[in-house]
Amino acid sequence: MPNRAHNFNPGPAVLPVTVLEESRDAVASLGSLGMSILEISHRSKDFEAIIQDAEKDALGLMGLSAQDYAVIFVGGGASLQFAMVPMNFMQTKADYIVTGEWATKAAKEAKLFGAVNEAASSKDKNFNYLPKRFNFSPDADYVHITTNNTIYGTEWKSVPDVGSVPLIADMSSDMFGMKRDWSKYSLIYAGAQKNLGPAGVTMIVIKRAYVETKAKQQVPSMLKYKTHVDGASLYNTPPVFAIFVVGRTLKWILKEGGLEAVEARNQKKAKMIYDVIDAHTGFYKGSVSDKADRSIMNLTWNLPTPELEEKFVAEAKKMQLVGLKGHRSVGGVRSSQYNACPVESVEALAKFMEEFYAANKP
């Protein structure tokens, strides 16, 4: 594929070139079928193999068994999960760890279904850190956490201990970006368009026993996890093409060496940028107060003035470094360095940062 920009878009975001090529080919014709991936039945043997492979590969990456966990694919984005989680699992109250805009939106939806206890929040400092103390309710139906705060650039490398209360995580912006103890979670959801594939599908990993024993019954079919678990994501027509692309991305992760390998590369990429920030602290100001909280997926920083930030983003764009403008709610600069973001792109960004510093330092 010629003319690839250095893509730092926060989402939809960069995908591996081989996955794009495989997807292009599948749109033209899927194998020897004489039909496009866009034209086949979601109930065909061919699609069955695609979706089952995706489920198997996802579980394989997490070291989870198909007896214990189901992987399902639904539409509606991660934002629909903000409502589906409490709709299915909130009996009376739930704990929410509020570390950013997405976590705030998740808690807001939950309030429609019961009592929300903010077990911790970093709102007092505009979400520039991860809370270290928690006020968990022992009788909560679940604890909800956002593992990576896409807008603010913080990431839970390990999550707080919640005891025997079910743990639910929004991993939209760092799903499969690092190794985790996946068996800790009763439910994980991730909108695909950050780190897994194109927009249009959300991957959900859910403990079978949790759905069987804890889910509420009076929930509309399409919004009920059990419907999609029992129907193996084929209760209705799922987003076939988006699932295909996610499946190819999972194969790509496996081929790259699995989660250990992609995590090592993500750490290396993050260090390249944080090192430049830390070498010029008066100029590049990392926006996360505690370095241990820094995300390896979305890196955020400021420059001395909004004018310099604008100039930085504009000049970067001229060098084909795109998608670096910070989220409209915080400003500054954000570099989204998902799994598929090549080391070469991050090298180009680090080099540009040094040059920009030399040309613009006070």
Q: Which residues are catalytic?
A: 102, 170, 194
Q: Residue 342 interacts with ligand PLP (CB under 6 A)? A: no
Is 249 a residue that touches ligand PLP (CB under 6 A)? Answer: no
- State which of residues 18, 36, 44, 79 lies at the interface with ligand PLP (CB under 6 A): 79
Question: How many CB atoms within 10 Å of residue 262?
Answer: 23
* Nearest by Cα to 118 from 85, 88, 140: 140
User: What mask of x and - would describe binding to ligand PLP in positions 193 to 222, judged by CB under 6 A?
Assistant: -x----------------------------
Which of 40, 205 has the CB closer to ligand PLP? 205
Told to check if 233 binds ligand PLP by CB under 6 A, we report no
Distance (Å, whole) CA 207 – CA 166: 10
Task: Check binding of 185 to ligand PLP (CB under 6 A).
Answer: no
Q: Does 337 bind ligand PLP (CB under 6 A)?
A: no
Taking CB under 6 A as the criterion, which residues in 83-122 touch ligand PLP? 102
Among 173, 227, 249, 345, binds ligand PLP (CB under 6 A): 173
How many residues make up the chain in this entry? 362
- Per CB under 6 A, the list member of 23, 88, 154, 172 interacting with ligand PLP is 172
Instruction: Tell me: does residue 191 bind ligand PLP (CB under 6 A).
Output: yes
User: Least Å distance between CB 81 and ligand PLP?
Assistant: 8
180 binds ligand PLP (CB under 6 A): no
- The answer to the question of residue 78 lying near ligand PLP (CB under 6 A) is yes
Tell which positions 9-48 bind ligand PLP, by CB under 6 A.
11
Min dist. Cβ of residue 312 to ligand PLP (A): 23
Of the candidates 282, 360, 279, 272, the one whose C-alpha atom is nearest the C-alpha of residue 316 is: 360
Give me the sign of the Cα torsion angle 343, 11, 298, 117. Answer: negative
Burial of 99 from C-beta contacts in 10 A (0-12 / 13-18 / 19+): buried
Cβ 354 to ligand PLP, closest distance in Å? Answer: 29
Q: Tokens in use for 33?
A: 């079928």
d(CA 272, CA 50): 37
- Give the interface with ligand PLP as residue ranges (CB under 6 A): 11, 77-79, 102, 146, 150, 170, 172-173, 191, 194
